[in-house]
Structure 1
Amino acid sequence: MIKKIYVPVDNSDYSDASIALAVAFARKFGSELVGSHVYAAKMHDVRFKQMEYTLPEEYQDEVELEKQRRIHDTLITMGLQLISDSYLEVMQQKCAEFEIPFEARMPEGKHFIKLVEDIQEGDYDLVIMGALGMGAVKDSLIGGVCERVVRRINTDTLIVRDLESIEERKGNILVGIDGSPESFSGLKTAIQLGHKLNRQVEAVGVYDPYLHYIVFNSVVNVLTERAARTFRFKEQEQLHEEVIDTGLAKIYQSHLEVARSIAKEEHDYALKITLLDGKAYEKILQYARKTNPWLLVFRQNRSPQ
């Protein structure tokens, strides 16, 4: 199922937690791990050139400047490569401890761009990366690199937001179901993870009947008396309450029933299902805070490149 896992590393606490989780997954699924650290040597070269005018007069000679550029470029490139080696060595040692196949990668360039390119060009089944990195801003919930990467790749991605080990963290696996093929695919992945990691899987669906009330009420305030009679507003409102709201609930309940059938027929798994009403993101947040799941599985809409 999960043959090859890609893990960006940067020596942060979230990076260490990502490595630990990837190792745990690799031991369960027999996966190969790929660790990657992006270093930005060329960016430092640009910065050096931008600051050349601030150097003492004896360094302003073009021949001397060129010499200093070469020295700076060599030292920076070598230094950043050594740092990358050190970060990846930590992961390599953990893999060696459990005889897990490991590959180290050190692309050069802008962090999120190179990670996206590396992931898109590889044949990875899963990406595991920390929500935050070394440059984390106080009170941030997700870092800029993580967000940019996730929005630009198609590979399944597990974002690590809890620093506790997989053994210490309790809770089930919560899957959002909206009837899309992606959500049912996520369900199948969740069930396979649940089997391997001994976690209960629960599917949750959310429908929103309240938006239509808001629309109706906003329309009625601007309709003329003649328009209200023409559109038979009161009759339409009653129809909405009796048919549309009930229909929405039935549609999303049917999505959950399909999910339960998939779990039973394809995986012989008794799936727990829960239907909620309201704004999807709000209700899922509330339910997650109430049930405290170990993992959330959702489909994501990708942003433009």
Structure 2
Amino acid sequence: MMLPRIQKILHASDLSDNSRYAFRYSAALAKSFGADITVIYVIDELSGTGKSLLLDYLGEEKWKALQEHKKSEYQKTIQTRLKEFCSEVQEDLTDCRVALSRTVIRDGNPAEEILAEIAEGDYDLVVMGTHGRGMVSTALMGNTARRVVRRSMKPVMVVRLPE
């Protein structure tokens, strides 16, 4: 039986400290295996009612412009965070190939969109952070993380922020 080849890693990010910490694992694995990393960020969808109210208030064109602006801002934030990460770990990751990562930004339910990207992207491994400690941690493995782990057809590494 052959060992699995890890060439494509999907790092699911919500731009939190947990996600930033988990990214260290994505980067270390990418370095060890010579893998590429794709970062996915999902803009949580408004409820149907909230979206409907905003559409009525803003109109279709302003709504679309606002959505594009939001995606552009998230793209800049993710790229800035990747650069910050590279400078933090420069000693350990000399080439910091993560700076060349592909970034995917989707709108919708985070778990559903991450699962859709896994299905479309032919990834070998998914890495994501999770929240919660103590009693609450079971309920909050991170609802998104728990749903992705349950339904993903690919291995998922869930990284908890240390105490």
TM-score by length of 1: 0.42
Counterparts of 2:62 and 2:162, CA distance in 1: 37
| Structure with greater strand percent | 2
Matching residue within 64, 75, 80 for 1:85: 75
- 2:151 aligned counterpart, secondary structure: coil
Report the Cα distance in structure 2 between the residues aligned to 1:15 and 1:151, rounded to whole angstroms.
Answer: 19
Q: Whose radius of gyration is greater, 1 or 2?
A: 1
Query: Please, which of 4, 8, 19 is the counterpart of residue 8 of structure 2?
Result: 4
Q: Which of the pair has the greater relative contact order for Cα pairs under 8 Å at 6+ separation? A: 2
d(CA) in 1 for partners of 2:81 and 2:12?
Answer: 10
Unaligned runs of 5+ in 1: 53-64, 165-305
Distance 1:26 1:151, change over 3 A: same
Task: Rate the CA distance shift 1:51–1:2 in 2: closer, same or farther, 3 A.
Answer: closer
Could you tell me how far 1:122 is from its partner in structure 2? 1.4
Letter in 2 for 1:140: S
Cα pair distance change 1:163/1:80, threshold 3 Å: farther
Superposition map of 1:95-114 within 5 A: 98-100=95-97, 101-114=100-113
Summarize deviations over 1:213-236 as a string: whole Å, max 9, x none: xxxxxxxxxxxxxxxxxxxxxxxx
> Distance between the aligned counterparts of 1:143 and 1:37, measured in 2?
15
Find the aligned partners of 2:48 and 2:66 in 1 and give their Cα distance.
8
User: Could you say which residue in structure 2 is the equivalent of 1:115?
Assistant: 114
Higher mean C-alpha deviation, range 31-40 or range 69-78: 69-78
Question: How many residue pairs were aligned?
Answer: 147
1:5-24 to 2 correspondences below 5 Å: 5-24=9-28
Determine the C-alpha separation between the residues in 2 that align with 1:86 and 1:140: 31
Q: Is the Cα contact below 8 Å between 1:37 and 1:87 reproduced in 2?
A: no
1 CA distance for matches of 2:40 and 2:121?
12
SS of the residue corresponding to residue 154 of structure 1 reads coil
Q: Given that residues 10 and 126 in structure 2 are in contact (C-alpha distance below 8 angstroms), is that contact kept between their aligned partners in structure 1?
A: yes
Identity of aligned residues (%): 24
TM-score with structure 2 length normalisation? Answer: 0.74
* Mapped contact 1:8–1:15 kept (Cα < 8 A): yes
Cα deviation for residue 88 of structure 1 reads 2.2
User: 1:10 Cα shift?
Assistant: 1.1
Distance in 1 between residues matched to 2:43 and 2:54, nearest whole Å: 21
Q: Does 1:140 align with 2:140?
A: no
In the alignment, structure 1 residue 47 sits paired with structure 2 residue 50: yes
Distance 1:79 1:45, change over 3 A: farther
For residue 153 of structure 2, give the secondary structure of its aligned residue in structure 1.
Answer: coil
Q: What SS does the aligned partner of 1:26 have? A: helix
Post-superposition shift, 1:48?
4.2
